[in-house]
Structure 1
């Protein structure tokens, strides 16, 4: 919910007409990751491309595979 307030404040403080605000809003993406996530830039480009294809998509997530080493137990 706080992202909605953050984005609406940013968009409305930009100024300009409704068309400019709509264009900026449609081309704004937020990426939120944990600190230990490693990804390739090409994966991010694929994600953005897929989100642009379908304007009804509001969020996307994927499975994270840990790349660390050492003794660690996973509980599912």
Structure 2
């Protein structure tokens, strides 16, 4: 991921959807282009390449951490 943009260009809703598909067993790891398409996430094919080599616990950890960080930075009303 050196020099990459990480998950900056992935919406929070897409991250939540990806995590949901992972929890339901609709997305399996390691993440590949084909598995993203099969899971109904073709919009993420070119945005999550750095997750490809990770096992399921690592992908879950990354997604949960990014979602939590974004929530913590949301303005409070």
The structure with the greater share of residues assigned to helix is: 2
TM above 0.5: no
Q: Bigger relative contact order, structure 1 or 2, given CA contacts below 8 A and separation 6+?
A: 2
TM-score by length of 2: 0.31
